[in-house]
Amino acid sequence: QVQLVESGGGLVQAGGSLRLSCAASGSIFSINAMGWYRQAPGKQRELVAAITSGGTTNYPDSVKGRFTISRDNAKNTVYLQMNSLKPEDTAVYYCNTFPRPDPPWGQGTQVTVSS
């Protein structure tokens, strides 16, 4: 079974940076677009970044210019560099396939941004 393991979250002050990592087992990684999603308390899970197998990226306006997604196909790992963090970025961050999340969700990694 495919497993997704996120890491790199933590507590950071507003304006700070974090780099998240997601390690994916199995054969899904090299042929699929991958995405980073987040879920804040009381809110629906939302996409914050996506990258195709060829490296094309897209972002919602809320994070554009601040977040950068990248991938290392050799390591089956996708990254999310988050800069200029805001308190509203506080959430649990997950990775999964894009546009349709398919493997079971991992445990996610908590990002907390203090004001």
For residue 38, the one-letter residue type is R
For 12-71, what is each residue's pLDDT tens digit?
Answer: 999 999 999 999 886 666 678 999 999 999 999 999 999 998 899 999 999 999 999 999
Distance CA 107, CA 4 (A): 8
Dihedrals phi, psi of 74, to nearest 5 degrees: -65, -30
> Going by C-beta distance under 8 Å and a sequence separation of 6 or more, which residues neighbour residue 54?
none
pLDDT > 80? residue 3: yes
For 80-111, what is each residue's pLDDT tens digit?
Answer: 999 999 999 999 999 999 999 988 999 999 99
Residue 87: cis peptide before it, omega within 30 degrees of 0: no
Token pair of 106 as six digits: 């991992």
Please tell me the predicted confidence (pLDDT) of residue 31.
72
CA torsion angle for 100, 103, 104, 107 (degrees, to 10)?
-90
